[in-house]
Chains A and B, each alone.
Chain A
Amino acid sequence: MNVLGLHFGLLKRSNWLLVLAMLALVVIGVLFIRSACAARQEEVIRGLFRLQILWAAVGLGVFVLISLFDYRRLSDGVWLYYVSALVLLVMVLVVGNEVYGGRRWLNFFGMNLQPSELGKLSLLLAVAWFLSRPGVDPGRGRTVGVVLALTAVPLVLILKEPDLGTAIICVPIVFAMLYTGGASLKHFGMMGLVGGLVLTLLFGTILVPRWMGMDVAGQKAVFTRVTRLKEYQWKRLVVFVDPASDRKGAGYNSWQSAIAVGSGGLTGKGYMRGTQSSLGYLPRTVASTDFIFAVIAEEVGFAGGAVVLGLYAVIIACGMLAAARARDKLGRLICTGVTAMAFAHVFVNIAMTIGAMPVTGIPLPLVSYGGSFMLCTMASLGLLQSVYCRRI
């Protein structure tokens, strides 16, 4: 078999629109990371955008490699990825670096790695592999149960870090895969019921004590005891329920981010001229990562924000096209999962940035600063491409 010829054929069958949208988002990300860090005193941080270029270059390499790699051969190693991701997730709980009250980072030869990113991806592969196995009937409750169990193990470990954001992302990924994988709507109804109950419980423990007029300490006690969540998470949810309650404390990021976005108007204040980010009202530590969309919306306004949303729409459309055209069920499931993951990230991140959802530390794919996430995103998009090139 002519390897080069094969590769040439793959190249011709690639989705170039996807690649263009990716590159555009990466460029936008680099530009606005530069803007977000321009006012920083530390030389290293002002140069973060260069590091992001490096990450993007490495990520593109990973993307190309994975596109060339036949996704069908993944099934051999799925368990290996899944188990090693679990091991890393356990390791991070034991020896991880503690940052902002959570253990989310592993130090690997001087490089920081976020195992929850790997966990997310390997969960996606494991579920896709399991649902696409011959003889597995997705319509049966047992299948759904196994998928939920597969999901639960890494999810619990991720929640333990705690990294609520990544954990939340896992839910729509798995649901989307179950849906396109053929799970019965009856089971969705049941899961929806359970989910609704959980949400009711969550917000109930916040709202009911407030309506009863409990003092703050009492409200916190009810919440932490019933939900087993942390106090800072209570604060974030309270701020979501009542945004004006704590603009200087827990609601600060959300409020400042909303000001940044809102004050951008139609066309923004101009590149590198966002006051909210340059004057540090938008907290500097998150301006280049989780809140990068606030910087974009402030500096290039609704027009720029809409362009970013449009690029994501292109990526999602390409992803779902790959799912529809996939050669087999495994490919379809992988594409569904990857696209759902990208969408969930975009939706949760931007909704959080404009104050429509509580603050959870979720980065914006391809745009936010961060190496692990960039590599993970590129790898998953590489899978999309790998499926698309090998379509019927």
Chain B
Amino acid sequence: MNTRNDHRDSVRISVLTLLMMAGLLFLAGALWITQISRGDHYAHNARRQSLRVVRVPADRGRIVDRNGIRLADNTPSFSLCVFVEEFRKPGRWSFTAEAVARQLRDVGAVIGRPVEVSAVDFTNHIRSRLPLPLVAWTNLDARVMARFAENQWRFRGMDIVATPSRTYPLLTRASHVLGYVGKSDLTAVAKKEFDYLLPDLEGRSGLEHRYDAELAGVAGRRILKVDASGFMSGVSQEMDPVPGRDLVLTLDARIQKMAEAALEGERGAAVVIDPRSGEVLAMASSPSFDPNVFVMGVSRELWKTLNADDGDLPLLNRSISAVYPPGSLFKPVVAIAGLENNVWDPDALVACPGYYELGSFRIRCWNASGHGTISLRKAIEQSCNCYFCTLGQKIGYEPIFHMAEAFGLGRRTGIELDGELGGLLPSAAWKKAQVSEAWRDGDTCNASIGQGFLGVTPLQMAVLCATIANGGHLYRPRLVRGVRAPEAPALGALLPELVRELNWSARTLAVVRGGMHDVVNAPGGTGKNARLEHVVVAAKTGTAEVGRKGEGHKHVWMMAFAPFDAPRIAVAMVVEEGVSGGSTVGPKVGRLLDGIFSEAEAHG
């Protein structure tokens, strides 16, 4: 009996032992499943709840002119921040809030500024941005910072934090080219990737926009460890941002200043190009704006003013985004078209009675009493409508169209800016499609004197002028010499980008350039206001009527190049609502060229 019981008991002890060992094996299996099979799932959850990714924007690249003068720069704005986790008190949130508030009162008294963080601000900070420093005061000036620095040993858990900010030291200078920046609007993708975004800027217009990728650099990231209450407990990983690259322009800030000064008080635009390379030395549009106001966000009223429907449109870059009829600036194109097709003899004489008769229409010449009987060179000098209408009728519209097309009219030049317009170079097919009418002789006549459907931008005219100046090399106009890393060596010379070789005969060039020479230098030339003593200037004036006939709305032009023998500068300038190209724009261009060449002499 006893042995049977003993046997039974030892069997039961073995069974129980096996049961318990099986239990431990079960635990080991469950542990394996949790830690190995599903480990990634839990590791992901551990990271997700305890790590916060902060986007750290890079320093934006600078924009400098061809001589290294800073047009767009970064100056940090300083804020005083509280690291809330250092004020953490056990128990209710209000204890921590009180500790922070007490500190802010003390610091405020020392630096002499009232506490700007309200209880609501603090609550919002705790709720949405707890692991980040709480910004207590922004835009600190040097005095406030000095006061804080002297007393910093008394105030733990606070520090001065620099936030990069954009400044345009030359204010409105070249504002249309530079554009402006605004607070960045990150895409949903970036918002998913980051838990917190520090304020960042992005280009909204101009070069700031077009070269945003180069200027912005690559944002870095800081991965914060966050404890169960949401306080920052340390930095887990830090990836420094890659600073943006600097943009070196072809612009010359001094020439830009003169171009802007020339347009002061007018609505208009001016573009200065180096005809040897197509580099844009100045691109001015008036009225202009101060891009500095956009950095911190623009008020509603200011935005309204900037976009008011009064025709001022200060944000509009008239150099590339406004289209004007070229008026008489187109006449050299017509002249070249006639000469190069060998259908017009430069010495051919045309009698101008003061008007041109086309069927029952009369097209007035600007000199009502007529220019007399004149040659082509004289016709350019005098800008005789009568002569060019006769020429146009003789050669027909087709060669004119092709020559204008060869000059790049009707198409964007491809300058490094958004919003460039191509203007309009009409053709018979275009007219048929647009107004369902055939091309008539009147259209050819209008085109021959730069009126009618033709539309051009000031930049296109500057390119046209540069091409005549350099003897037929059409270069793409350029604003950007290159991008370079912040401390990189200066950029080498920019290779000109030849769009087209126009291959004009020497005779053609001599007549057209001679005509433009006379415009300025002949006693009765239309552009004599642009005459300079020490430099020989060649030019063409233009006065384009806009709106209904007889209402007297005129956009007035001048394009000019100098020095005549070896041109280094080509300018096109337009002024809206002027009197005439010669009288309104001539003196301005004269002053501008005078300034450029005096400056060049002064600086060798």
Given contacts A262-B41, A281-B228, A346-B24, contact A323 B13 (CB under 8 A): yes
Closest CB of chain B to A201's CB: distance in Å? 25
Question: Which of A41, A180, A356 is the one whose CB lies under 8 Å from B9?
Answer: A180
CA distance A260 to B449 in the complex (A): 84
CA distance A301 to B21 in the complex (A): 21
> Which A-chain residue is minimally distant from B48 (CB atoms)?
A259
CA distance A280 to B229 in the complex (A): 8
> Which B-chain residue is minimally distant from A267 (CB atoms)?
B35
The reply to whether B46 and A260 form a contact with Cβ atoms under 8 Å apart is yes
**Is B38 part of the contact surface with A, judged by Cβ < 8 Å?**
yes
CA distance A276 to B49 in the complex (A): 10
CA distance A23 to B89 in the complex (A): 39
Closest CB of chain B to A173's CB: distance in Å? 12
**Is A258 part of the contact surface with B, judged by Cβ < 8 Å?**
yes
Note all chain B residues with C-beta closer than 8 A to A347: 23-24, 27
**Is A218 part of the contact surface with B, judged by Cβ < 8 Å?**
no
Given contacts A182-B8, A276-B46, A302-B36, contact A317 B31 (CB under 8 A): no
Note all chain A residues with C-beta closer than 8 A to B12: 179-180, 182
CA distance A182 to B233 in the complex (A): 58
**Main SS of chain B's interface residues?**
helix
**Is B227 part of the contact surface with A, judged by Cβ < 8 Å?**
yes
CA distance A305 to B39 in the complex (A): 14
The reply to whether B13 and A320 form a contact with Cβ atoms under 8 Å apart is yes
Given contacts A261-B34, A262-B35, contact A281 B16 (CB under 8 A): no
Note all chain B residues with C-beta closer than 8 A to A306: 28, 31
CA distance A182 to B8 in the complex (A): 8
**Is A233 part of the contact surface with B, judged by Cβ < 8 Å?**
no
The reply to whether B46 and A275 form a contact with Cβ atoms under 8 Å apart is yes
**Is B5 part of the contact surface with A, judged by Cβ < 8 Å?**
yes
> Which B-chain residue is minimally distant from A264 (CB atoms)?
B35
**Is B517 part of the contact surface with A, judged by Cβ < 8 Å?**
no
The reply to whether B20 and A343 form a contact with Cβ atoms under 8 Å apart is yes
Given contacts A180-B9, A279-B233, contact A258 B31 (CB under 8 A): no
Note all chain A residues with C-beta closer than 8 A to B21: 313, 316-317
Query: Chain A 49-68 against B: per-residue CB contact (8 Å), 1 yes, 0 no?
Result: 00000000000000000000
Note all chain A residues with C-beta closer than 8 A to B155: none
Instruction: Report the contact-size class of chain B (Cβ under 8 Å from the partner).
Output: 35 or more
The reply to whether B36 and A332 form a contact with Cβ atoms under 8 Å apart is no
Tally of A-B Cβ pairs under 8 angstroms: 127
Which of A297, A339, A343 has the most CB atoms of chain B within a 10 A radius of its CB? A343
Note all chain B residues with C-beta closer than 8 A to A305: 28, 31, 35
CA distance A179 to B18 in the complex (A): 14
Closest CB of chain A to B200's CB: distance in Å? 29
**Main SS of chain A's interface residues?**
helix
**Is A229 part of the contact surface with B, judged by Cβ < 8 Å?**
no
Note all chain B residues with C-beta closer than 8 A to A260: 46
CA distance A347 to B31 in the complex (A): 12
Query: Chain A 72-90 against B: per-residue CB contact (8 Å), 1 yes, 0 no?
Result: 0000000000000000000
Note all chain A residues with C-beta closer than 8 A to B15: 179
Instruction: Report the contact-size class of chain A (Cβ under 8 Å from the partner).
Output: 35 or more
* B residues 28-73 in Cβ contact with A at 8 Å: 28, 30-32, 34-36, 38-39, 41-43, 45-46, 49-50
Note all chain B residues with C-beta closer than 8 A to A317: 17, 21
**Is A309 part of the contact surface with B, judged by Cβ < 8 Å?**
yes
CA distance A324 to B13 in the complex (A): 7
Note all chain B residues with C-beta closer than 8 A to A265: 35-36, 39, 43
**Is B134 part of the contact surface with A, judged by Cβ < 8 Å?**
no
**Is B505 part of the contact surface with A, judged by Cβ < 8 Å?**
no
Note all chain B residues with C-beta closer than 8 A to A356: 30
Note all chain A residues with C-beta closer than 8 A to B225: 275, 279
Given contacts A302-B36, A316-B24, contact A279 B226 (CB under 8 A): yes
Note all chain B residues with C-beta closer than 8 A to A340: 16, 20
**Is A266 part of the contact surface with B, judged by Cβ < 8 Å?**
yes
**Is B124 part of the contact surface with A, judged by Cβ < 8 Å?**
no
**Is A147 part of the contact surface with B, judged by Cβ < 8 Å?**
no
CA distance A301 to B35 in the complex (A): 7
**Is B311 part of the contact surface with A, judged by Cβ < 8 Å?**
no
The reply to whether B24 and A312 form a contact with Cβ atoms under 8 Å apart is yes
The reply to whether B35 and A297 form a contact with Cβ atoms under 8 Å apart is yes
CA distance A312 to B49 in the complex (A): 33
**Is A350 part of the contact surface with B, judged by Cβ < 8 Å?**
yes
**Is A176 part of the contact surface with B, judged by Cβ < 8 Å?**
yes
**Is B489 part of the contact surface with A, judged by Cβ < 8 Å?**
no
CA distance A24 to B413 in the complex (A): 82
Note all chain A residues with C-beta closer than 8 A to B523: none
CA distance A279 to B52 in the complex (A): 13
The reply to whether A263 and B23 form a contact with Cβ atoms under 8 Å apart is no
Question: Which of A280, A302, A346 is the one whose CB lies under 8 Å from B35?
Answer: A302
CA distance A350 to B29 in the complex (A): 12
Question: Which of B14, B27, B42 is the one whose CB lies under 8 Å from A263?
Answer: B42
CA distance A260 to B228 in the complex (A): 13
The reply to whether B27 and A351 form a contact with Cβ atoms under 8 Å apart is yes
**Is B90 part of the contact surface with A, judged by Cβ < 8 Å?**
yes
Note all chain A residues with C-beta closer than 8 A to B23: 343, 347
Q: Which 8 A-B pairs have the closest CB atoms?
A: A262-B42, A280-B228, A263-B46, A279-B227, A320-B17, A263-B43, A302-B35, A343-B20
Can you list 11 A-B pairs with a CB-CB distance of less than 8 A? A260-B46, A262-B41, A281-B49, A302-B31, A302-B32, A324-B13, A336-B13, A336-B16, A343-B23, A347-B24, A354-B34
Known: A261-B31, A262-B34, A313-B24. 7 other contacts (CB 8 A): A276-B50, A281-B49, A302-B32, A316-B17, A336-B16, A343-B23, A350-B27
